[in-house]
Amino acid sequence: MRLETISDTATEETADFPEELNNELDLPPEYHHYRDEGCALASAYLGYQSSCLNCPFPECIYDQYGGKQHWLKQLRDTEMARLFTTGEKGIKELAQIFGVSQRTVQRAIKRFKNE
Residue 8 has pLDDT above 60, yes or no: no
Task: Give the separation between CA 92 and CA 101, rounded to whole angstroms.
Answer: 8
Is the model more confident about 37 or about 85?
A: 85
For the ranges 7-11, 57-61, 83-87, 104-108, the lowest mean pLDDT is seen at 7-11
Task: Give the separation between CA 30 and CA 27, rounded to whole angstroms.
Answer: 8
Task: Give the separation between CA 65 and CA 44, rounded to whole angstroms.
Answer: 20
Helix or strand or coil: residue 98? helix
DSSP at 53: G
Task: Give the separation between CA 95 and CA 103, rounded to whole angstroms.
Answer: 9
Tell me, what's the pLDDT at 45? Answer: 75
CB atoms inside a 10 Å sphere around CB 41: 20
Kind plus residue range of the DSSP H or E element containing 46: helix 40-46
- The mean of the pLDDT values for the chain is 77
User: Do the beta carbons of residue 62 and residue 39 sit within 8 Å?
Assistant: yes
pLDDT digits (tens, 9 = 90+) for 14-23: 455 555 555 5
pLDDT digits (tens, 9 = 90+) for 60-96: 878 888 888 888 898 899 999 999 999 889 999 999 9
Q: What is the dihedral of CA 63, 52, 29, 13, to 10 degrees?
A: 100
